[in-house]
Amino acid sequence: MKKRICWFLPLIIFLASCKKDEPFDATLIEKIMVQSIYTGSTYPVYIVLPENYSAGNKYETLYSLDGDDDLNGIKIYEQIGWACKQASKAKNKQNVIVIAIGSLGQDERFRDYSPVPNLGKPTGVGGGSENYAKFITSELIPKIQQEYLVDTSSAGRIIVGHSLGGTFTGFMFTKHPDVFANYLTLSPAFYWGDGTILEYENENRAKNSSRKSLVYVSCGEFEEGIRILAKEWQYRLKTYYPNCTTDFHMVSTAGHISSAKESINKSINFYFSNK
């Protein structure tokens, strides 16, 4: 009998250590469809409301790109909603409304998130970021402000993007800094278009450098091409943007996909710690 217990004990300990994050309450999630005249597409948008969402409050809004992508069996909007709930509780701050913009397909993703057509493979795709930015600023944000109890200042808006979505957050920081004041830039693909975002940063530095923003940058240890440019981004933020509060996190022994979950959780913690 003792021998059997000795065999089963490590198994029980192992299974106990495999604890999953608690499931997210589905009743807090609403799905709407938003049509854009700028991009010509209709996007699924998932709204994750905070618990005890009620009149009399003004909630900050967190806009997520790739919002309905799957992350090891959990949707991005669920992961973000869960992380916001945990962080807001831990920091004793009011939770946010998550606005997760769903994906349409790979072609539309390249079109919307990339500011210029790519020079590497896939060649020539992209270049629709300006229209996508117009969709967010002129169509989605006004709709959300009309239908939900939200803080309408840019300080009350956060954008989070991973990979090419991270490139788009860099695009908004450099080209449309009035829309969001908080940027969670996760594994940004700044190599896209031969480093276009870094060029935009350089071109717009003089007029943007006094802005007050929260910027979080993260990536996996084994995504070297992304890491070298994420570090450059962090260096420029620290050097040229004195009013920016910024942090950089490298997820140890992780690649592009395996770093995403930890990056999301850490970035949201960063936001709630510094807002």
Parallel, antiparallel or unpaired: strands 182-186 and 157-162 = parallel
Cβ at position 11, least distance to other proteins in Å: 18
Among 21, 130, 194, 203, binds other proteins (CB under 8 A): 194
Least Cβ distance, residue 167 to other proteins (angstroms): 12
Chain length of the chain: 275
Is 191 a binding residue for other proteins by CB under 8 A? The answer is yes
Report if residue 224 touches other proteins, rule: CB under 8 A: yes
CB of 196: closest distance to other proteins in angstroms?
A: 9
Residues 102-121 that bind other proteins (CB under 8 A): 119-121
Member of 42, 235, 242, 274 binding other proteins (CB under 8 A): 235
Output the CA–CA distances (angstroms, integers) from residue 220 to 98, 128, 143, in the order listed. 24, 27, 35
Looking at 25, 108, 151, 221, which residue binds other proteins (CB under 8 A)?
A: 221
What is the per-residue binding string for other proteins in 236-255, x denoting contact by CB under 8 A? x----------------xxx
- Residue ranges in 72-101 that form contacts with other proteins under rule CB under 8 A: 72
Query: Considering the complex, what minimum distance in angstroms separates the CB of residue 265 from other proteins?
Result: 14
Shortest distance, position 55 Cβ to other proteins, whole Å: 41
Q: Can you tell me whether residue 271 is helix, strand or coil?
A: helix
Other Cβ atoms less than 10 A from the Cβ of 212: the count is 11
CA 181 to chain centre: 13
205 binds other proteins (CB under 8 A): no
In the structure encoding, which two tokens stand for residue 230, read together? 């994420």
> Residue 7 corresponds to which amino acid?
W
The 3-state secondary structure of 68-87 reads CCEECCEEHHHHHHHHHHHH
Nearest in space to 99 (alpha carbons), one of 164, 48, 52? 48
When asked if residue 177 is in the footprint of other proteins (CB under 8 A), the reply is: no
| 70-86-261-189 Cα dihedral, nearest 10 degrees | 100
Binding site for other proteins (CB under 8 A): 72, 119-121, 191, 194-195, 198, 221-222, 224-225, 227-229, 231-232, 235-236, 253-258, 261
